[in-house]
Amino acid sequence: MKYKKTAPIGVFDSGVGGLTVAREIMRNLPHEKIVYFGDTARVPYGSKSKETILRYSRQIVRFLQTQEVKAIVVACNTASALALETISEEIDIPIIGVVKPGAKVAAQTTRNKKIGLIGTRATVKSDLYRKTIQAENPEIEVIGQPCPLFVPLVEEGWLKDPVTIEVAKRYLAPLLEKDIDTLILGCTHYPLLRSTLKTLVGDEVTLVNPAYETAKELQRLLKEQGMENEIHVDEEFPYRFFVSDEEECFQEFANSILPYNVKRTEQINIEEF
């Protein structure tokens, strides 16, 4: 199916974390419009089964299709790991996730072939990062570390709080003991902790932000498919935001991290899709 170049990009996440991906798209693809959906009623995804994540993701994709998006970004590591492959075979819209772009850059970045991965339990358990990295270079060792407390700490706004620093130290200790030289921020919330994490791991460890790498991958995809929007976006609302619950909390968080003033967020019943 052929879509208009001026059609928006669909972006979805389990909640607010995917806004870090939307932020990178806004910065790197300023001519593109975005329809963002945050599944705030059913967050977190990281502790749910593959079957549940797949059902949720299908519902969200159906909603985004009603918005006539020309491409979809799964801005959630858990959904990228557990649902992306299946959904990509079910729809005729280009769809990418956040795992593979970050994994490929990490494989190219490491010098000592020891990569640390922090993420939700589901993302780490899925093993997709390791499989993708070792497809690039089978000699690379990937050491995963679930960090379930990071998401609530980020959403509380405790980015540099002593509690967050102490929790981060405990999560990172096993990875640093393994002498990693590259660390993948394998959850879309984690780029907001970047400066705190960088201080703790030091200059010898390179941080890989899949949100940025995904925006660059989207840019390449649109160019290859001849789908780039070359017209300057002058609409009042080039970026539209939808959630399944708590639109006011979402909007407040969005306005704290996006280079754009979110004036309106719409709540929808995602179970209808």
Please compute, for residue 230, the number of CA atoms within 13 A of its CA located in the half-sphere on the CB side.
3
Contact 79, 97 (CB under 8 A): yes
Determine the distance from the C-alpha atom of residue 262 to the mean position of all C-alpha atoms in its chain, rounded to a whole number: 19
The secondary structure of residue 192, as a DSSP letter, is G
Options 21, 43, 76, 172, the catalytic residue: 76
The secondary structure of residue 25, as a DSSP letter, is H
Q: Which of 115, 110, 79 lies closest to 97 in space, CA to CA?
A: 79
Contact 255, 24 (CB under 8 A): no
147 is catalytic: no
CA atoms of 253 and 157, how far apart (whole Å): 9
187 is catalytic: yes
Options 95, 142, 187, 201, the catalytic residue: 187
The secondary structure of residue 14, as a DSSP letter, is S
Q: Which of 164, 147, 209, 214 lies closest to 182 in space, CA to CA?
A: 209
Count the Cβ atoms, other than its own, within 10 Å of residue 91.
15
CA atoms of 210 and 80, how far apart (whole Å): 12
State the sign of the Cα–Cα–Cα–Cα dihedral 202, 200, 188, 180: positive
Task: Give every CB contact of residue 48 below 8 A, 6+ residues apart in sequence.
Answer: 56, 78, 122
Contact 99, 132 (CB under 8 A): yes
The residues carrying an active-site annotation are 76, 187
